[in-house]
Structure 1
Amino acid sequence: MKLLPSLAAGFAGAIALTALHETARRLRPADAPRMDVLGMRGLRKLLGKADAPQPDDDTLFDLTMAGDILSNGFYYTLVGSGRHALARGLALGSLAGVGGVLLPGPMGLGEAPTNRTPQTQAMTVAWYTVGGLVAGAVAQALRKHR
């Protein structure tokens, strides 16, 4: 696996995913997934366990967005830069989407942000899948230009 192309592809997927989430939450507030809410809840929990000061809401949101792009970018880096990057992107994206629907409740972050409606669940899976596909497509494009 080539590190720089994999990182570029992974972060392209993460940026696409975050752009989808943020656009949809503004256009469809009733049923869009709220991964930002899950991220802020998770960060508040981590800071609380570390006895660290709690940031104000604006700072918390900014930190969450940065954390989402970093964590998803590194996750999508697993797509790699080989021949089957698009298939790996599809698989990794789908897995992340299913995890986004199934895991928040057991992790103590609440279920509503990704399970509010069947549309919310479908969008969660679809958007993570799109992020994986973007990562795979970028990886393939970079592979062709080497």
Structure 2
Amino acid sequence: MKNSTQILAGLGGALVLNLVHEFARHGVRDAPHVQEIAEQGIDKIVDKAGLPKPEGNTRYGIALAGDIVANTVYYAQVGYGKNGWTRGIALGLIGGIGAVLLPEKLGFDDRPVSKTTTTKILTIVWYTLGGITAAALNHALRREATA
């Protein structure tokens, strides 16, 4: 039961993170465009594999699916240990800071997540929101299991 709780909590955090990104990138000035980092990663992988680059909606869909899977696994870690709330906040902050600092170090164009101070702050806040969501779901699902 614990593993399924963790996965569901992680999925909830990942979905909230991705929904906020998706809605905000269409209407919030200086919103981060994390999907562009994921698309750059797809391009690097297919180049190394000698495969044709996916384009348009296919590339975007692969990036979105990859983000959701990766963030689900990441946020599922909220279920380890006793204090899921602290872990959720920490995972969110670390994920957001990593999303701002790591792309350039990994050879990606980091402008989609670091073009302005506002963009950087929103990236960190939204990842933290995902962590808090995962913690809340983990807490609720564990309480439901023991009721």
TM-score (norm 2): 0.95
Checking the alignment, whether the CA contact within 8 Å between 2:84 and 2:139 is kept in structure 1 is yes
Checking the alignment, whether the CA contact within 8 Å between 1:13 and 1:135 is kept in structure 2 is yes
Deviations 1:61-120 (A, max 9, x none): 001000000000000011116541111000011000000110011111112111111000
Checking the alignment, whether the CA contact within 8 Å between 1:81 and 1:139 is kept in structure 2 is no
Checking the alignment, whether the CA contact within 8 Å between 1:82 and 1:140 is kept in structure 2 is no
Structure 1 residue aligned with 2:44 = 45
Checking the alignment, whether the CA contact within 8 Å between 1:2 and 1:81 is kept in structure 2 is no
Unpaired runs of at least 5, structure 2: none
**Cα distance in 1, alignment partners of residues 84 and 49 from structure 2:** 38
Checking the alignment, whether the CA contact within 8 Å between 1:88 and 1:136 is kept in structure 2 is yes
Amino acid at match of 2:56: D
**Cα distance in 2, alignment partners of residues 81 and 101 from structure 1:** 25
**Cα distance in 1, alignment partners of residues 79 and 20 from structure 2:** 22
Q: Which runs of structure 2 are paired with 1:99-110 in the superposition (5 Å)?
A: 99-110=98-109
**Cα distance in 1, alignment partners of residues 46 and 77 from structure 2:** 28
Structure 1 residue aligned with 2:83 = 84
**Runs of 4+ residues over 3 Å off in structure 1:** none
**Cα distance in 2, alignment partners of residues 81 and 22 from structure 1:** 29
Q: CA RMSD in A?
A: 1.2
Identity of aligned residues (%): 39
**Cα distance in 1, alignment partners of residues 128 and 9 from structure 2:** 14
Q: Which runs of structure 2 are paired with 1:1-146 in the superposition (5 Å)?
A: 2-28=2-28, 30-80=29-79, 83-146=82-145
SS at match of 2:105: coil
**Cα distance in 2, alignment partners of residues 112 and 97 from structure 1:** 15
Amino acid at match of 1:6: Q
Q: Deviation of residue 55 (structure 1)? A: 1.1
TM-score (norm 1): 0.96
Q: How many residues align?
A: 145
**Cα distance in 2, alignment partners of residues 82 and 102 from structure 1:** 27
Amino acid at match of 2:26: R
